[in-house]
A and B are shown apart, each in its own frame.
Chain A
Amino acid sequence: EAQVTQNPRYLITVTGKKLTVTCSQNMNHEYMSWYRQDPGLGLRQIYYSMNVEVTDKGDVPEGYKVSRKEKRNFPLILESPSPNQTSLYFCASSLGSAAHTEAFFGQGTRLTVV
């Protein structure tokens, strides 16, 4: 089954404690990205990756890092989480970056930073 898998689904952590949210896709997609969803703001892109070892900033990259060492995995790293990073996070993948390529989303990771 084609899918994007994020882990964990829920996470509560304390300010400053480094964490990683994993994302894996089994569709051999080149393009992957991370979004955060906040009430009243919709979804905003954090980072994206065109392919292995190619990553770039999205609209709200501050406080986040990513890596793309393998095609299937695109982890999101919060080196020093802060309460304003409390949000619902989605990983997405698509065949390419072209507009017509449908984005498949993971199940979401609800992060709370206290």
Chain B
Amino acid sequence: AQKVTQAQTEISVVEKEDVTLDCVYETRDTTYYLFWYKQPPSGELVFLIRRNSFDEQNEISGRYSWNFQKSTSSFNFTITASQVVDSAVYFCALKPNSGNTPLVFGKGTRLSVIA
């Protein structure tokens, strides 16, 4: 069975603080992809990153960085120097490479950045 756990339901930080959103996944597939999506207050889902299971290199994009650790089945997302515009719900998702398994989403973490 595939499962994604985002244990943090809500996080509040003050602007300019760093914040890490946790994501732990379960899958029996050896090949899979992990995703992060952002859902701002306007409601749409914005793709942030895709990472395949064979690539454990960390990735940095501006103030965003992702730490993929296969040994702990985690794909954590860090925002450095958070800004009010980062306030959103963030979803981690998993897609195995087998069959027609859909994207399996975590329940999301609501991040509030306070000015």
Task: Classify chain A: how many residues form its interface, as a range.
Answer: 20 to 34
Known A42-B107, A110-B43; judge A102-B100 contact (CB<8 A).
Answer: no
Residues of B within 8 A of A56 (CB): 100
Q: How far is the CA of A50 from the CA of B105 in the complex (A)?
A: 20
Known A45-B102, A88-B43, A105-B44; judge A99-B107 contact (CB<8 A).
Answer: no
A98, CB-defined interface residue at 8 Å = yes
How many residue pairs link A and B with beta carbons under 8 A? The number is: 56
Q: How far is the CA of A59 from the CA of B104 in the complex (A)?
A: 10
Q: Mask for B23-46, Cβ within 8 A of A = 1, else 0?
A: 000000001110101000001110
Residues of A within 8 A of B32 (CB): 99
Q: Which of A49-89 contact B (CB under 8 A)?
A: 50, 56, 58-59, 88
Q: How far is the CA of A104 from the CA of B52 in the complex (A)?
A: 18
> How many Å from the CB of A57 to the closest CB on chain B?
10
Residues of A within 8 A of B35 (CB): 102-103
The 4 closest A-B pairs by CB, nearest first: A105-B45, A45-B102, A42-B105, A99-B97
